[in-house]
Chain A
Amino acid sequence: MAAEMMGVDMVTILVDDIELQVPKGELIVESVKRLGIEIPIFCYHPRMKPVGMCRMCLVETGTKQPDGTIRKMPKPQASCTLPASEGLAIYTQTPQIIQDRKGVLEFLLINHPLDCPICDRGGECPLQNNTLFYGPSTSRHIEFKRHAPKAIPLSEHVTLDLERCIQCGRCVRFTEEISGDGQLAFRFRGASMQPSTFALSAFESKFSGNTIEICPVGALTSSQSRFRARPWDLESSAGVCTLCSCGCNVWFDHRIGKLVRVNGRTNNAVNEEWTCDQGKFGHDYYNHNERQASVFIRTSARLESTSWTVGLGEIVTKLKSTGTSAGFLLGPKISNEAGFLACRAATALGSRQVAGIDSRVELGANFEVPADSLLSLEQAKVIVSVGPSLADTLPIVYLRVRKAASQKGAKVISIHSSPTELDEFAFLSLCHKPGTLSLLIQGLDGSLALEEVALQTGVSAQALKEAKTVLEGQGVSFIATNQVAHTEGSAALSDLRRLAKKLEANWNHFCETASGFASLASCSGLGMELQSPESILKKCLSGDIKFLWLVDFDPFELVKDRELVKQALEEVEFLVVQSAIASEASHYASVVLPQSLPAEGGGSFTNLDGQLQNFDAFLPKIGMARADWQIFAELLSRMDLAAGMFSRQDILQMAAKDVPYFKEALTGKQDHQPQPSGAGV
């Protein structure tokens, strides 16, 4: 067994008279799973510390006597707080335990309302399931039930139904142990105990959505999908969140072709099972009422609906004349295939003008695969996070950093110019004056006197000295994003990289968008450089670019300089706007192409540490919309630039020939296979 090889002490326990070798100290509730035995639980959660609050996991225990017989303890014990020890005997199926479980459930049901027929949890509710399998079949309760408010809005996203709460404390422990904001606690006690925020203020956690998922009853419900669908009417399909570069694995729950809610899907290498609020509640653009459903072409002053043949034909004609001055702006959420094909088109046409949000050229940085993966980040001894709030830009990286700090004892150094969530548990917070990051780095690498740096940056010399000592140790990982360059200048970013290299630390310059890693890899594989959107727009103004293709890129939202965007879009000769939702840019378009979203068209996505994850389509496409990769595959075929692209797999195979990253991803690493799991448990 792997555990034995790693030098973990093994002990022999007896589970229902079956001998079992388990690591010493493993919780019994986990050990019995090795035999496929299930112990019902409510408050226990494998990723949080056990508390033994609900008493649902009771087992009978005993110890082996010298004469070989087993002497049972007179009282049952909670298996979630019981560590495995040599000679421990566990009984999970005795008449006594069956009786005890009935008793516990009867207690829980005394005050639990029987509103299952209207409850959002009904059908996927651990309390329902456990009652069905282990509970009493009838109720003896004839007294009045406790009554409490039915809909307390804890925050914009979370609504609390207090009557349904069985006081397991999962949500409270989540905010204490996982997200670390400590926003929820139990107020009062006994029957009036209630999970609540301080002084009933708003529940402002950036990870509040997870409490809805881990609630074993329908007490915490999503304000967004409350009463929208019964769980058994929903179909769950495995998907990947594309709202940032973390690439969280999620379940898209949909009903009659409409997305209803998003739940976390377990993948230990990425998001464990958590989601951020942005990912969990930010997918309602699928149901946007201005989804692009038809191809439009500009005839004189108006956009007129047309067919793909005409639309693409117009583009092909135009590209044949102005192909060498064509530019592509890659959107933050496009698939690997589309990103690659756009880059491929740019090289084949000879223009080589491709831009994306995660561009590195103007920042004085080159594309480097991050040294750490999300998993290895957990093992770091020292984590240096530089730049604005990590919980906002890369929420799942933030959870990893927090886990490393709180569970593995990593020292976190947070370098920023305004307070962030990291400060609450950081070993050192170096809050410098805006614009002085370069100086601070010079202090840390020893090229400037610490006193001088302290004076200029506003960080105390003592803290700088301490940081310097910590950084000279082993196992240091740096985390930075383009935000560092945007706030402190590109010189600061390259200084930071130099410092990391000098210290022989792991340098992680993470992408921020879902398409970032693959676009950068494709560009460097094809011998180009991913430019910044601004530089492409400026080239439109100067006339270097006459043909601009916005690949699901909304410049009015993603580029700060609005005037520049306006002028560039007016100036450019031919503008193709490929988007899923009608945007302001469509008004300037020569041709508008309707694009489907990942859940409708499929695609593969690479997250910030280079894991390629497939996302298969399961929702119907809207109107004439096509997947982003389909559009480019057809374009390249029509222009005779490439052929034989009939599926996503064909495109990836083609990409593997040109781009080393795709070759490695397709042959080396195994794609994560989704395993359906029961919600909530």
Chain B
Amino acid sequence: MSDLIGLQTLSEKPTRLDQSQLKLNFSEAAVSQLEEIKSHYPSEKAAILPALWIAQREYGGFLSSEAIAEVAHRLHRAYAEVEGVATFYSMYNTRHKPGKHKLEVCTCLSCHVNGAYRILDLIEKKLGIRPNETTEDGLFTLEEVECLNACDRAVVMQVGDSYYGPLTESLLDTIIADLKSRTESTVIQMADEIVKVHLPESAV
């Protein structure tokens, strides 16, 4: 955990973003989607989760401090509060910036006994990265995750919003080849899908 905090001296600490210095990156479509979502809830606080999904899509799959600050600004919440919400959930990418595709390999019980770590090793060798790292070309990020609730398909891996499993070496090769041929980022695609769930058909 210490690597998450990084011991800083006080002079190195960034000062809080001033509202006037805030760079707002939401596209017009995103702003209107946020307005639509806000109208579904009695308070702006309730819209933090979907708003973070919009931010994750708008900021290329990564919730940086700027992204979180923009959400807080647009929902009139304290910066720290929104950051607290974002860091609580593991599906928001707050710890490191993911590549174009995020490979999330389940290593929980059923997958473990079916050889999840062997599969993980295979992926590490094929892509040349360790878990929580991104390939140099920025295509793949590898992550080890807890139970994906698909034990019938162990060893299972999530990429974007699709599940793949049971994983074998040949299946892995096809998945990687398929992902390489895609132009869209599955990370952003998934965020977009989740935002759409919150919107009525007409607004999509």
Question: Residues of A with Cβ closer than 8 Å to B?
Answer: 146-149, 151-153, 155-156, 162, 175-176, 181-189, 191-192, 194, 196-202, 204
Contacts and interface: CB of A to CB of B under 8 A. Distances in A.
17 contacts: A148-B1, A149-B2, A149-B7, A152-B7, A182-B77, A182-B81, A185-B78, A185-B81, A186-B88, A188-B88, A194-B1, A198-B65, A198-B68, A198-B83, A199-B79, A200-B8, A201-B14
B2 A176 contact: no
B5 interface: yes
Contact of B5 (A149, A155, A189): A149
Nearest to B79: A198
Given A176-B78, A192-B4, A185 B10 contact: no
Nearest to A159: B10
Contact of A186 (B1, B7, B84): B84
Given A153-B8, A199-B17, A200-B8, 15 more contacts: A147-B2, A152-B7, A182-B78, A185-B80, A185-B83, A185-B84, A187-B84, A187-B87, A188-B4, A189-B88, A198-B16, A199-B79, A200-B14, A201-B16, A202-B13
Nearest to B14: A201
B181 interface: no
Contacts of A189: 87-88
B202 interface: no
Contact of A202 (B15, B65, B83): B15
Contacts of B14: 199-201
B43 interface: no
B160 to A, nearest CB: 24
Nearest to B95: A188
8 closest cross-chain pairs (CB), A and B:
A182-B78, A185-B84, A185-B80, A198-B79, A199-B65, A198-B80, A187-B87, A201-B16
A194 B5 contact: yes
A192 B10 contact: no
A199 B83 contact: yes
Contacts of A181: 78
Contact of B10 (A156, A175, A176): A156
A559 B84 CA distance: 46
Given A146-B1, A188-B87, A182 B80 contact: yes
B183 interface: no
Contacts of A186: 84, 88
Contacts of B17: 199
Interface centre among B2, B77, B78 (most CB of A within 10 A): B78
A204 B16 CA distance: 9
Interface in B8-22: 8-10, 13-17
Contact of A153 (B2, B9, B77): B9
A182 B68 CA distance: 15
B78 A200 contact: no
A181 B77 CA distance: 10
B10 A183 contact: no
A187 B83 contact: yes
Contacts of B9: 153
Contacts of B15: 201-202, 204
Given A188-B88, A198-B65, A200-B13, A152 B80 contact: no
A209 to B, nearest CB: 16
Interface centre among A147, A148, A181, A188 (most CB of B within 10 A): A188
A191 B1 CA distance: 9
Contacts of A146: 1
B13 A192 contact: no
A162 B5 contact: yes
Nearest to A191: B1
Interface in B73-92: 77-81, 83-84, 87-88
Contacts of B6: 200
A187 B68 CA distance: 13
Contacts of A201: 13-16
Contacts of A188: 4, 87-88
Contacts of A149: 2, 5, 7
Nearest to B89: A189
Interface string B12-44: 011111000000000000000000000000000
A162 B17 CA distance: 24
Given A162-B5, A183-B78, A204-B16, A155 B84 contact: no
A88 to B, nearest CB: 31
A197 B84 CA distance: 9
A182 to B, nearest CB: 3
A155 B16 CA distance: 12
Given A176-B78, A183-B78, A185-B78, A200 B84 contact: no
Given A176-B78, A182-B78, A196-B80, A148 B5 contact: yes
Contacts of B7: 149, 151-152
Given A155-B10, A200-B14, A201-B13, A192 B84 contact: no
Nearest to A155: B10
Contacts of A183: 16, 78, 80
Contacts of B87: 187-189
A198 B69 CA distance: 9
Contacts of A197: 16, 80
B16 A148 contact: no
A23 B115 CA distance: 61
Contacts of B5: 148-149, 152, 162, 194, 196, 200
B81 to A, nearest CB: 5
A100 B15 CA distance: 44
B74 to A, nearest CB: 15
B1 A192 contact: yes
B54 to A, nearest CB: 19
A196 B94 CA distance: 15
Contacts of B13: 153, 200-202
A202 B10 contact: yes
Nearest to A148: B1
Interface in B35-74: 65, 68-69
A176 B84 CA distance: 13
A424 to B, nearest CB: 9
B19 to A, nearest CB: 10
B84 A148 contact: no
B10 A153 contact: yes
Contacts of A162: 5
B179 to A, nearest CB: 29
Nearest to A160: B5
A197 B82 CA distance: 11
Contacts of A184: 80
A115 to B, nearest CB: 17
A175 B14 CA distance: 19
Nearest to B1: A192
B2 A148 contact: yes
Contacts of B69: 198
Contacts of B83: 185, 187, 198-199
B113 to A, nearest CB: 24
B31 to A, nearest CB: 22
B177 to A, nearest CB: 36
A287 B72 CA distance: 43
